[in-house]
Amino acid sequence: MCGITGFFSKKANNDNNNKLGQINHEIKHRGPDSHGEKFLEESKIGFAMRRLAIQDISNAGNQPMISKNRKYLMVFNGEIYNFQELRKNLRSHVKGNSDTEVLLEMFSSFGIHNTLLKINGMFAISLWDLEKKKLFLIRDRLGVKPLYYGIKNDTLWFCSELVNTFINIFNKKINFNRLQYYLRNSYVEKDTIYKDIKKVKPGTFLVFDLSDLDNAEEFCYWSPLEKFNQKNVLIHNDLNFKTSKFEKLFEKSIQQRLISDRTLGVFLSNGVDSSLVAYYAQMLSAKKIDTYTLGFNDTKFDESKQASKVANYLNTNHHNIIFTEKNLLNLINKIPKIFNEPFADSSQLPTYLISNYVADKTKVILTGDGADELFYGYNYYQSIYRARKIIKLFIRNGNINKLMINLINKYNIKNFIGNQNFEKIIKVLLFAFDENEITRLKENNEINTFTKSLIKVQSHSDINSNFFEKKLSINQNLCLSDLKNYLEGDILVKLDRSSMSNSIELRSPFVDDFNIVEFALNLNDSDKISFSQNKIFIKNILFSKIPEKFFSKKKRGFSIPLNRWMNNELSENIKDLSTSSYLRNQNIFDFQSVQKLISFSKKGNTWFDQILWSYYIFQIWYKDNF
């Protein structure tokens, strides 16, 4: 695991060399074990990296690395889990035991596209073709590893993180079109909060030519949409066949993720997904594995006792880490420096704390993240599944469409469906509406009008029906939307920054193993969900290995008492960042609307709590950066 950065310029500039060195220093937390820099083409091109040595911790894995045929130069962040299998297919001799060297020689032997179809793992790659004089920026299938880029003064820059020197190159111009979505959803959609900095899209690679930097070619080598309902993935519809195939895939996946030259452990919650990961990790390990659970001194939120029962059953070397509210509150002002853009998923706090705790004990952690998106674990999947027959009527009956629009606009339907699920469900319903009906929803409904009123600057609404794919079921569309938006923009960002800021590597087989992902996308909806239960496929497998009684209590997740914090412990901080004079000078938010937001939160409306939390995180980020 590493941090990578570099530039690609039409003319040499010593200032670029200095900036590259500074950026590489600022991403040291991503790779404290070694570093390297390489300048080519009379310093028109610069590559740099910081290495967190996991596999082959000798100098043989150091980067930047040049292929044996001198065709490619590469910096690479990530892990290729099937590198030992791929190594057998290489004609060239691989002297070390690092996945970096195998990956580079794969590119040399099989080409870019063919190699990307073969490798299994998480990765962000920059590759310079010394013969064709072209630069490739490549990102893994679901976007586990980040890769940012931008062009300024005829120079392309790329980096693993939005660190200060990197973003200052682009003058820190805010993209206000991302602000309305952020306030409602807690993360920045698609690109970044900065106008001139973009992300390489998951499952794609970009090709840059110095003669025309502004017009990079983009190639998609993997798309989740194309992986649904493939006949060759599950050749039998028998549930026993599917279960057996998954268990073989998952066992192999965990076996590959246990390969490490550094100490290794598992994050174990009271949930189904991490328990399944822990089961296989312990089964395949020759010694007791270390499992870690985050606990809370408030018993209303603590799940460490339940997780301990699972750990005892599996006979792991278990660690409960108990934190207090004070630990969480003290972390809040550090959040902008960790994420370097507004990011307000409050579970970032416990995720960072547990990562920080294990950092001096282990360097590799397995997690169960991603299963909820793939196997329909969230409650709104069940809400939609129960209502699917009614929803299908919308397609055929325009009068029902109009009735639904009127109900949404007239009543606070959010409270009926559930505050956090409202937008996702509404987006699914929108596939049945025409453009005029969608416009009415945008203009009249509280979900859009309130956040719009908060912002003085121009900011586009994101509510639309464009993503709906007619060939997929309603739940498959929800899954597709979650994979492309929530997973990539929220969950994976949280995991990457929380872990890498503490110099540890997280491995999540549900998202970084494309065999598991493609298997899940080809299950029937009825394999995953029923009228009374969600995520049944994973639960049935787990309960055949660990007694169901350990999971009888509903998983709470690590809930943050946002309402109490913002109306007590953080109220003065919020007040200081919401005065008339402060907001007038800032010229982004409307003072009267912000006061309404604070007032609504005092009344205990959880939907407004989340918006106020997003607002507060934005303001402390803004204060740190402008």
Q: Are residues 440 and 531 in the same domain?
A: no
Q: Are residues 69 and 121 in the same domain?
A: yes
Q: Are residues 193 and 302 in the same domain?
A: no
pTM of the prediction?
A: 0.92
Q: Of the residues 199, 222, 245, which one is the last residue of a structural domain?
A: 222
The owner of tokens 């301990």 is: 308
Q: How many residues does the chain have?
A: 626
Give me the pLDDT at residue 436, please: 60
Q: Are residues 164 and 242 in the same domain?
A: no
Token pair for residue 407?
């109900």
- Structural domain including 385 reads 380-468
Q: Of the residues 203, 222, 241, which one is the last residue of a structural domain?
A: 222
Confidence bin at 10 (pLDDT 50/70/90): confident
Q: Are residues 171 and 135 in the same domain?
A: yes
Distance CA 290, CA 310 (A): 13
Into how many domains does the chain fold?
4
Q: Of the residues 521, 551, 581, which one is the last residue of a structural domain?
A: 551
Q: Is residue 587 part of a domain?
A: yes
How many Å is the maximal CA-CA distance in the chain? 69
Q: Are residues 385 and 437 in the same domain?
A: yes
Q: Which of 94-108, 329-343, 398-412 has the highest mean pLDDT?
A: 329-343
pLDDT tens sequence across 302-332: 778 889 999 999 999 999 999 988 999 999 9
Q: Are residues 308 and 334 in the same domain?
A: yes
Q: Are residues 288 and 353 in the same domain?
A: yes
Q: Is residue 316 part of a domain?
A: yes
Exposure on the CB side of residue 271, measured as CA atoms within 13 A: 23
Q: Is residue 487 part of a domain?
A: no
pLDDT tens sequence across 142-151: 999 999 999 9
- Sequence-ordered list of residues with C-beta below 8 angstroms from that of 35, at least 6 positions apart, any chain: 24, 28, 48, 49, 50, 51
Q: Is residue 556 part of a domain?
A: no
Distance CA 238, CA 243 (A): 9
Q: Are residues 570 and 445 in the same domain?
A: no
- Sequence-ordered list of residues with C-beta below 8 angstroms from that of 66, at least 6 positions apart, any chain: 72, 73, 74, 104
Give me the pLDDT at residue 622, please: 97
- Sequence-ordered list of residues with C-beta below 8 angstroms from that of 439, at least 6 positions apart, any chain: none
Distance CA 482, CA 428 (A): 12
The CATH number of residue 30's host domain is: 3.60.20.10
Q: Is residue 557 part of a domain?
A: no
Q: What is the DSSP letter of 124?
A: E
Exposure on the CB side of residue 619, measured as CA atoms within 13 A: 23
Q: Are residues 439 and 515 in the same domain?
A: no
Q: Is residue 483 part of a domain?
A: no
| 3-state helix vs strand vs coil in the chain, percent to 5 | 50, 15, 35
The CATH number of residue 243's host domain is: 3.40.50.620
Q: Are residues 113 and 136 in the same domain?
A: yes
Mean pLDDT, the chain, as a whole number?
87
Q: Is residue 501 part of a domain?
A: yes
Q: Is residue 537 part of a domain?
A: yes
Q: Are residues 135 and 210 in the same domain?
A: yes
Token pair for residue 419?
């505050």
